[in-house]
Amino acid sequence: MQLTEIRVAGFGGQGVILSAIVLGKAASIYQGAFATMTQNFGPEARGGACSAQLIVSDSPVLYPYVSQPDILVVMSQEASNRFVSELKDGGTLIVEQDLVRVSELKGNVKVYSVPATRIAEELGKRMVLNSVMVGFFTAVTHLLEPDAVRKAVADSVPASFRDLNLKAFERGFEYGATAQAVSPQSLEDAGVAYAQE
């Protein structure tokens, strides 16, 4: 895989950091590539802004900070407002469909949306929305091998929640397997919440 910069952002309690850890572990441990991750969060344990920067590559990563993400995953409106402008021209934006209204996008950004929180609630635990998002990410980006990510999910959560997180991963992956990229010009037509200026 070529060097790919990824930012995952949301608020504390959504599993933002764990999402990045799982993806980095899938790349580096289970797929034999290289990965670096840095994280940033506010003083609040839950509810505060939170983001993780992940870089994956088939060669050693020489600089661990994301300058212009190729892929941006946003799980809160604050994260969207703060980071969307950094997304690389031609990049991929993945949004939590029920929590984020999209606006001010560059012309050729690909947008994917998933109701990750709703899917997690249907599974009985809202806290697994990050595993839903990781599954969706895996399906729509084709960056990482699904089996590598499954192993990373299983290896990164407590044993008592392993089955639930794997089920959440599969639901997100299935949702992503049928998802279509949307251009900024057709957000509303595709049912993606769009913030009019």
**Per-domain residue ranges for the chain?**
4-184
Question: Residue 197 pLDDT more than 50?
Answer: no
Phi-psi region of 113 (alpha: psi -120 to 50; beta: other; left: phi over 0): beta
Residues comprising the chain, all counted: 197
Q: Are 171 and 84 spatial neighbours (Cβ–Cβ below 8 Å)?
A: no
- High-pLDDT (> 70) share of the chain, %: 87
pLDDT 10s digits, 94-151: 999 999 998 778 768 999 999 999 999 999 999 999 999 999 999 999 999 999 999 9
pLDDT at site 187: 64
Report residue 12: phi and psi, to 5°: -55, 135
pLDDT 10s digits, 181-191: 776 656 665 55
Q: Are 71 and 4 spatial neighbours (Cβ–Cβ below 8 Å)?
A: yes
CATH of domain 4-184: 3.40.920.10
